[in-house]
A and B are shown apart, each in its own frame.
Chain A
Amino acid sequence: MLHTMSETVIVAALRRGNFRRAIELILDTYQDEVFGYCAGLVGGGHSSGVYQQVLTVALDELPTFNGVVSIRAWLYGIARRVVIRHQQDAQRDFSEPVPRASAPAPAFPGEIEEIRGLRPTDLELDTCLNQVAPAIREILQLTLWHGLLLAEVAHITARSLPEVRRMAAEGLSSLSGALQRFSGAPS
């Protein structure tokens, strides 16, 4: 509800061409969660720099915001792109490898994953989550950890809504199965 109200005010400021007000409102409303999202993906040491880049790209793209998705989803989309670029750059630089969890490597370069140290504290869940494909894991994290709608996740990950819905459902189902196997309960 709070987000919806803020979105309305931000979009109104954008329509008036008041970018300063829009940016101030965006920072007031979404700074913590977008910063947290970046920190969860790149680690504490790089989070400030990556977040700065996110803001830079957001400032660049703000005049062309078309309102197809919410400001929040739009920001997450930018943050995701910046994080992917950062991770790809860091992977190319051998002197500074990207911190990696014990999770399997992403199937393709566009996929990102939460890093060690910012994983769930639930050990069973952590182990089972690692068995889920990175792309599905990302969808589950965006949906359940960051509270985004499936339609928003579809926009952020550049997939169709039915595909995201199917992947999320399959992910939850396989996670449920893995947890049952892990705890020894009959499946």
Chain B
Amino acid sequence: MTQQEHDEEHDEEHDEVQILDPRGCLTLEAMCFTSQLQPEQRAVVDRHVHSCAVCAQQQMDLARVTERLRSARPRVPVPMEAKTLARQAALKSLALRRGHREKRLEQRSTARMRSIRKSAAVPWYRSHTFWIPVLVGMASALVLAAVVLLFL
């Protein structure tokens, strides 16, 4: 886990919004973006605005401003030609990158092969019959030793 990920998790864990101020009224943070609060925090806010006319009024004002700002969002038409061009460029770029990556791997592999060829290396391989001549040799040595002992 990176430091940034850790920090973000830490932030989310400690995103404790102060719902009520020392006077017992809702804080500004609790009144705005209430839908993004935890369910239990939302419940506290809802309960409070039912009983406090001042906070209810303020929350209503803020909601009105929020809605006004939201509806004033400028819409930017995206030209179809630009979209098509951007899409084609992105996919082409992806294909090129993939091509480059494969080419890089291929080049690395070729370079390695060349160095192996230069060093005249031999692949190390031990067959399952490797031990047979060894055992035969040892048996022969034992027989030879026995014969020598017999003649002595």
Kindly state whether residue A165 has any CB partner on chain B within 8 Å.
yes
Residue-wise interface mask of B (15-49) relative to A, using a CB-CB cutoff of 8 A (1 in contact, 0 not): 10100000000011101110010000000000000
Residues B64-82 near A (CB distance < 8 A): 64-66, 68-70, 72-76, 78, 82
Are B69 and A55 touching (Cβ within 8 A)?
Answer: no
Of B31, B33, B75, chain A has the most CB atoms within 10 Å of the CB of B33
Q: Are A175 and B93 in contact (CB under 8 A)?
A: no
Chain B, Cβ-Cβ closest to A162: B15
B 85-96 to A, binary, CB cutoff 8 A, 1 in contact else 0: 111011101110
Closest to A166 in B: B29
Q: Are B78 and A31 in contact (CB under 8 A)?
A: yes
Which segment, of B5-13, B103-111, B118-126, faces chain A? Answer: B5-13
A-B interface contact total, Cβ < 8 Å: 129
How distant is the Cα of A51 from the Cα of B27 in the complex, in angstroms?
40
The chain A residue sitting closest to B83, CB to CB, is A31
> What is the CB-to-nearest-CB distance from B129 to chain A, in angstroms, rounded to a whole number?
42
Which residues of the other chain, A, contact B73 by a CB distance below 8 angstroms?
120, 144-145
Residues of B within 8 A of A126 (CB): 72
B61 on interface, CB distance cutoff 8 Å: yes
The answer to whether B15 and A175 have CB atoms under 8 Å apart is no
Counting contact residues on chain A (CB < 8 A from B), the size range is 35 or more
Q: Is the CB of A36 within 8 A of B11?
A: no
Q: How large is the interface on B (under 10, 10 to 19, 20 to 34, 35 or more residues)?
A: 35 or more
Closest B residue to A151 using CB positions = B12
- As a 0/1 sequence over residues 20 to 48 of chain A, the CB contacts with chain B under 8 angstroms (1 = contact) are 10011001000110011001100010011
User: Are A40 and B76 within 8 A (Cβ)?
Assistant: yes
**Cα distance A186–B86 when bound, in Å?**
50
Report which B residues bind A (CB closer than 8 A).
2, 4-5, 8, 11-12, 14-15, 17, 27-29, 31-33, 36, 61-62, 64-66, 68-70, 72-76, 78, 82-83, 85-87, 89-91, 93-95, 97-98
Task: Give me 17 A-to-B residue pairs in the complex whose CB atoms sit less than 8 angstroms apart, sorted by A's number.
Answer: A20-B91, A47-B76, A51-B82, A55-B93, A66-B2, A68-B5, A121-B74, A145-B73, A149-B36, A151-B15, A161-B12, A165-B17, A169-B32, A169-B33, A172-B32, A173-B62, A179-B68
**Closest 3 A-B residue pairs measured CB to CB?**
A120-B72, A145-B73, A36-B76
